[in-house]
């Protein structure tokens, strides 16, 4: 059977989206450690750094679902330039202000911009990808984030140097440069969303209750796994500079370590399709979360920089699995007409983790030590491994059914699928 993608000829829209996401995420990845260093230069302690990192996610926490509702019944593309403008403004003003409360506020604006961009971009990928393309396209989409996470910390580490007043000036410079990097994303935001997909959206009066979305099998597991994985990535970005200061690791070296983690994540997503064929979704998700939990807890050990680099490389590879697979899980489990809202609920969970995890990390670091939050994250990732074992039971049969009956007139077929359908779903042609 010939499977016809819904997105029309070519995948240039996905390439442009990946490029724009790489610049936007690169700016955020530059800004996050720069904000931590600037806060330290302004006299912040570990607890204050955690609070500022948490505010980044606080404002988005309240607007994710309304944005998802709007996107379900309208266009996605307008959210992308809006997100770029908010990220650029938040980064620039974080570098210009000289008080910790003002830095926290503009950090929140940066987080709001990132949320707008991600909701719009993820919704476009969900709409314009045929069912058998979703794992591949979401994996390629998240490569943009990983590219930004690879380049951003290196650039931040190269710009940030010195102690005391010099550290304050160089971290401010890094924030201003990150604002300019994000603005470059605007050059790729053309012909991203196809008219055909925007004209076939569900009726505006068919609003699916949030309780129904959260009750769909697979949605809670996808949200919680994504929350655990992103919290680990976020704490690594925000707190590795603090660990570096305590262990006398230079900012440039910390930037290289963070970028090494991101490079390993890119490598993981480039081989996502063969890994899925080899291990299956459930085993891949569970194993990666379990290994990531053990390695994240291992960061708390006083190891040498080369050993830490190896640990972060393997950790980055393991963390590369959770985000794209949780996106596909949520999209497939969500009711019709509520996919963008389901993705927004997933992002709400992410932001809730980004609020709670840095705040908890700050309190734990202030009371126990700067390495202790990584132990907490390790426990969370081990819990996510259990969720992957329990919450992914329907995903493989659903994938087989969707790939085998990709004709829209047959999408309501009963779940499951015969062995021949499963083989077709895993074939190179249908798996991407």
Indicate the pLDDT class of residue 390, thresholds 50, 70 and 90.
low
- Segment 262-305, tens digit of pLDDT: 888 888 888 888 888 888 878 888 888 889 888 888 887 888 88
- Domain range holding 382? 12-197+208-393
What is the structure's pLDDT at 422? 40
Tokens (6 digits) for 221: 């597991």
What would the mean pLDDT of 70-83 be, rounded to a whole number?
A: 81
Q: Is residue 406 part of a domain?
A: no
Nearest to 350 by CA among 233, 268, 203: 233
The rounded distance, in Å, linking the Cα atoms of 229 and 217 is: 20
What is the structure's pLDDT at 1? 39
- Residue 82 CA, distance from chain mean position: 19
Task: Report the sign of the C-alpha dihedral through residues 41, 43, 47, 51, in that order.
Answer: negative
CB of 86 within 8 A of CB of 109? yes
Percentage of the chain surpassing pLDDT 90?
Answer: 12
How many domains does one find in the chain? 1
DSSP string covering 31-79:
HHHHHHHHHHHTT--HHHHHHHHHHHHHHHHHHHHHHHHHHHTS-STTH
Rg value, the chain, Cα:
21
Provide the mean pLDDT of the chain.
77
Residue 424 pLDDT > 60, yes or no? no
Tokens (6 digits) for 359: 């705040």
Nearest to 305 by CA among 369, 262, 250, 268: 250
- The DSSP 8-state label assigned to residue 226 in this structure reads H
Percentage of the chain surpassing pLDDT 70?
Answer: 81
Residue 417, SS3 per DSSP: coil
What is the structure's pLDDT at 429? 37
What would the mean pLDDT of 134-143 be, rounded to a whole number?
A: 81
What is the structure's pLDDT at 175? 93
What would the mean pLDDT of 159-184 be, rounded to a whole number?
A: 84
- Segment 318-329, tens digit of pLDDT: 888 888 888 887
DSSP string covering 315-357:
HHHHHHHHHHHHHHHHHHHSPTT-HHHHHHHHHHHHHHHHHHH
Q: Is residue 1 part of a domain?
A: no
At a CB cut-off of 8 Å and minimum separation 6, what does 195 contact?
none
Residue 176 pLDDT > 70, yes or no? yes
What is the structure's pLDDT at 164? 53
Residue 343 pLDDT > 90, yes or no? no
CATH code for the domain in which residue 279 is found:
1.20.1250.20
Indicate the pLDDT class of residue 365, thresholds 50, 70 and 90.
low
Q: Is residue 45 part of a domain?
A: yes
What is the structure's pLDDT at 195? 62
Indicate the pLDDT class of residue 236, thresholds 50, 70 and 90.
confident
Residue 202 pLDDT > 80, yes or no? no
Q: Is residue 3 part of a domain?
A: no
Residue 177 pLDDT > 90, yes or no? yes
Residue 386, SS3 per DSSP: helix
Residue 203 pLDDT > 50, yes or no? no
- Segment 208-228, tens digit of pLDDT: 777 888 877 778 888 888 888
What is the structure's pLDDT at 418? 40
Distances (CA, A) of 197 to 54, 74, 378: 36, 10, 41
What would the mean pLDDT of 118-130 be, rounded to a whole number?
A: 84
- Segment 5-58, tens digit of pLDDT: 444 445 788 889 999 999 999 999 899 888 888 888 888 887 788 788 778 877
Q: Is residue 412 part of a domain?
A: no
pTM exceeding 0.75: no
Residue 344 pLDDT > 80, yes or no? yes
Q: Is residue 429 part of a domain?
A: no
Q: Is residue 426 part of a domain?
A: no
Indicate the pLDDT class of residue 163, thresholds 50, 70 and 90.
low
Residue 168 pLDDT > 60, yes or no? yes
Q: Is residue 402 part of a domain?
A: no
How many Cβ atoms are within 10 Å of 296's Cβ, its own excluded? 30
């Amino acid at each position: 059977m010939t499977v016809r993608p819904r997105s029309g000829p070519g995948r240039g829209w996905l390439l442009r989206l990946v490029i724009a996401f790489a610049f936007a995420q690169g700016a955020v990845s530059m800004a996050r450690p720069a904000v931590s260093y600037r806060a330290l230069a302004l006299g912040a302690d570990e607890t204050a750094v955690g609070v500022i990192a948490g505010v980044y996610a606080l404002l988005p926490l309240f607007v994710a679902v309304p944005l998802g509702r709007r996107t379900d019944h309208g266009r996605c593309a307008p959210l992308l330039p809006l997100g770029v403008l908010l990220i650029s403004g938040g980064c620039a003003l974080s570098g210009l202000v000289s008080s910790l409360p003002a830095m926290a506020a503009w950090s929140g604006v940066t987080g709001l911009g990132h949320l707008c961009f991600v909701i719009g971009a993820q919704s476009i990928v969900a709409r314009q990808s045929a069912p058998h393309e979703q794992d591949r396209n979401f994996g390629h989409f998240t490569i943009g984030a990983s590219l930004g996470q690879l380049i951003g910390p290196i650039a931040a580490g190269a710009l940030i140097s010195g102690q005391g007043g010099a550290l304050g000036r160089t971290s401010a410079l890094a924030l201003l440069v990150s604002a300019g990097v994000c603005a470059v994303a605007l050059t790729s935001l053309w012909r991203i969303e196809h008219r055909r997909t925007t004209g076939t959206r569900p009726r505006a009066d068919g609003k699916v209750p949030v309780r129904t979305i959260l009750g769909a099998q697979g949605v809670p597991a996808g949200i919680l796994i994504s929350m655990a994985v992103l919290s680990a990535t976020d704490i690594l970005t925000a707190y590795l500079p603090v660990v570096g200061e305590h262990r006398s690791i230079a900012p440039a070296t910390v930037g290289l370590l963070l970028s090494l983690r991101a490079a390993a994540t890119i490598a993981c997503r480039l081989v996502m399709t063969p890994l899925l064929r080899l291990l299956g979704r459930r085993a891949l998700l569970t194993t990666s979360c379990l290994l990531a939990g053990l390695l994240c807890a291992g960061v708390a050990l006083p190891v040498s920089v080369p050993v830490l680099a190896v640990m972060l490389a393997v950790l980055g590879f393991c963390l590369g699995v959770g985000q794209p697979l949780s996106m596909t899980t949520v999209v497939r489990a969500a009711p019709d007409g509520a996919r963008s809202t389901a993705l927004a609920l997933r992002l709400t969970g992410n932001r809730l983790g980004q609020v709670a995890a840095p705040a908890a990390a700050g309190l734990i670091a202030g009371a126990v030590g700067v390495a202790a939050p990584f132990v907490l994250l390790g426990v969370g990732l081990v819990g996510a491994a259990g969720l992957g074992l329990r919450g992914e039971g329907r995903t493989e049969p659903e994938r087989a059914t969707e790939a085998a009956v990709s004709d829209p007139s047959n999408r309501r077929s009963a779940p499951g699928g015969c062995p021949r359908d499963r083989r077709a779903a895993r074939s190179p042609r249908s798996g991407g």
